[in-house]
Structure 1
């Protein structure tokens, strides 16, 4: 039977609910994204959908406390952004995000897992945990690693060289599973994943979304950047500027854990239409939104 990590974080708290109102981030050469508004309950699967260069990754990093926004308001697990970015980073973990949290192709699966577990114990462990006997700490660390691997659906025994398999020898879906397992070692309340469906076959894409859905079902809120979202996710779509675009509203999914509303549009527009669960929630950017603007914003606000 597959085990899943607890739906509660280190402090016994559930997944992080998201409240986003008119959020925007600007770089020296334009807006990376603007006027993003939606609500998502704890344990939601939120898909940040759109073409490359439309601000998807910047939005992901902003909502996980890695980039400072310039307008609007957001709360992650009750933590206001950007005022409490450091606290948001402590409850949010990143899977794969190119240029920010990438796997080292020269390291093995075991080395990645051991390094993450040691960092987790060093920076997030309690003083009482550090005083436990080495054998007890080692057993607890192994149990946490096994729990994360099971939740990510990665079986080291099925890899060519087991845990000694180098990252460079992993298939794309296996690498995605490893990055998610590393993130789940910290038992975060919010998980962010970039390029979820990039270079995946149809079958692997289905498996990837099934994995993220499983993580969300366990209670952890999931933010996933993608080119095409599944129908059952709360879809926040970043698109090119359209002066005629009005806001749209997405109703909650039947399970009640997805967004109460997902409203986007230009700041001067007030119209709202009702959409069915899983329908697009279009995020319009101003005419000066550019891919360079997103890159500049990332460089300006930092990648840590």
Structure 2
């Protein structure tokens, strides 16, 4: 690794750590943050608060047994994101350029780190997805796929990206699919279309699913349908805009047909699927920001990633992996 790369990653790690410490000790104890705080402090009494989504609670139990408090646990949990992001950046290209810096440093803002804290299970499952995108060979992926699933069962929608990679990527990474997703978002915004209740009620009728999945679906149904009828408002114009801009950049600038890079294919497919689901369920705000959380919360990071991909592809600097 060159001195320039070492310097880049050192500065990135240092700044990320400083902002992370600041964010942890200024965290607002509301909503999911308060829930995780209470869960952590009671983890010795209730070891499976999320039931079958037990990976995070297992880590909490181990951390609590070692004498760490919630804030120390959260610090180390979020810190695990660092080496994965660095490896993803390194996996794309060993050349340094301004877009690589922008991609890395877009993870440093307090709102971004706050998102990693707030979406504890989702962000942890995302870490496992990123690791899976760096591993070749499906059999090697199986242990991580299982861990990802039991971290957050919603991640089951990502499994086809690895299981039927070529066929799924051909669909999710096609620019027609992305154009259709934008059209669906516009229809959702202007017509108020909401398919959430229909989807969840349909899934609840699938009696051949394992009992633990049925129980999980029942909880999700109650949560999303009940909250759909409240005045809870999570969508912001800014986040929605930054969900759309990367999609437009991808359609216009990224020549995906010229890219033969497994990690890139997985990352693009992840955003394509997330943006599609966000658009489809836009009018159920909680559900849209959960199934489409990658598009909604990581739009800025993907904006720079797609600009970086377009540049690397044009200059033929993208690693051939």
- So what's the TM-score if we normalise by structure 2? 0.30
- So what's the TM-score if we normalise by structure 1? 0.31
Please state which structure has a larger fraction of its residues in strand: 1
Q: Which has the higher contact order (CA 8 A, sep 6+)?
A: 1
